[in-house]
């Protein structure tokens, strides 16, 4: 990839992919905690910012934009799968 396209791709990965990744983690936290669903949602949303920052930093720290997209997409799919499992067979 050329430099300009790589920067745009990494920026989109950080913005869009980071949003999806951090919300997937929030879903896992909501379904993994036992107790009141409203309190679990608040707890999950508190961690969203930390995981969003991780995704943004990782998007620009990797060697290539393809690796950044693969990491963010793979991690998001993993956490959505865990959230689905917890929503059907466990959790609150």
Token pair of 68, please?
């950044």
pLDDT at 87: 87
Number of domains comprising the chain:
1
Per-residue pLDDT of the chain (92 residues; tens, 9 = 90+): 678 899 999 999 999 999 999 999 999 998 888 878 888 888 888 889 999 999 999 999 999 999 999 999 999 999 999 999 998 887 55
pLDDT at 76: 96
CA 50 centroid distance within chain: 10
Per DSSP (E only), the strands in the chain are: none
Question: 2: Cβ–Cβ under 8 A, 6 or more apart, which residues?
Answer: none
Domain that holds residue 12: 3-89
pLDDT at 91: 53
């Amino acid at each position: 990839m050329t430099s300009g396209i790589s920067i745009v791709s990494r920026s989109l990965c950080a913005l869009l992919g980071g949003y999806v990744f951090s919300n997937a983690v929030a879903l896992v936290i909501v379904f993994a905690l036992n107790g009141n669903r409203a309190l679990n949602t608040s707890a999950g949303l508190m961690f969203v910012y930390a995981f969003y920052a991780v995704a943004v930093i990782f998007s620009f720290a990797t060697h290539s934009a393809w690796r950044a997209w693969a990491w963010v997409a793979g991690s998001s799919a993993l956490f959505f799968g865990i959230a689905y499992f917890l929503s059907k067979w466990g959790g609150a």
